[in-house]
Chain A
């Protein structure tokens, strides 16, 4: 069922705005996987802004919850699943040069064919994984 989700649209606009600002100010793509990897293994002079971006990511999320009073999401305490999924996500985004932000938001909005292809593939596999997972475990997780 489709209803109009105000928070989803507001959140999306903020994400898009952040990407535009980062490009306008310092000419960089707001792709989180690239920023994370660059903060760890990038050139020394190019690390600090990335670390600050990631710190901002954490602080911005916390600020949202405290300013709006909206509750913090409940986590899934399945550690083995978190480890396997984390490894797959990390390996995949590095190999595929991007994730939901770099390919999905920045790349598609620049009409990059690589990003359209990557986004289509990770969406399809995300959907398929949830479908198979639910089938094997019986119902929505």
Chain B
């Protein structure tokens, strides 16, 4: 079943180094805080989403599932979660509007 093995262990370790590097960047930014909180906050969120993409796409293999399956999983996530966060964070503050 070698056709199921995309990239082999080399790709697995590459993804590991990417995740490790992104986490190290997050921790360094969190400790030294070189920029304002607002910029820092969005940097953290973007880096986290990039990490999530690598975990879901490569470790959880979604990149190699059928397109229809990937969308079946992605659409509820992309619609419901931002909606929930929008409602909650709007109610709690004027930070995002």
Q: Do A and B come from one complex?
A: no
B residues with CB within 8 A of A: none
